[in-house]
Amino acid sequence: MITLVSSRFKGAIHITAHARKRMLERSIDDKLLFDLIETGELKFKDDKHAWIAKFYEDRDDNLICAAVVVDQAVIVKTVMFHFSFED
């Protein structure tokens, strides 16, 4: 398994088993997830919980989103598609 480290958040990226399962179901590999975390639009729910979302031209299931906890590391709880930010 590749260890991903975020420059954006200055720490390791940990992916839960649930998120790995959703990644497989949604054809999201580590490379896409890493790009999403590093360059996606970030919206915090509170001081630690956030969504990171991004549109990808070559996919027809956009927005791709990672629900994360940002602390000393980035913990990816799940990944979603056809996402929209709540107002």
For each of the domains in the chain, give its residue range(s) and CATH number, in order of start.
4-80 (3.30.2310)
pTM here is: 0.92
Tokens of 71: 């602390």
SS3 string of the chain?
Answer: CCCEEECCCCEEEEECHHHHHHHHHCCCCHHHHHHHHHHCEEEECCCCEEEEEECCCCCCCCCEEEEEEECCCEEEEEEECCCCCCC
Distance between CA atoms of 12 and 16, rounded to whole angstroms? 13
Residue 2: pLDDT band with limits 50, 70, 90:
low
| pLDDT per residue as tens digits for the range 9-61 | 999 999 999 999 999 999 999 999 999 999 999 999 999 999 999 999 999 99
| pLDDT per residue as tens digits for the range 32-46 | 999 999 999 999 999
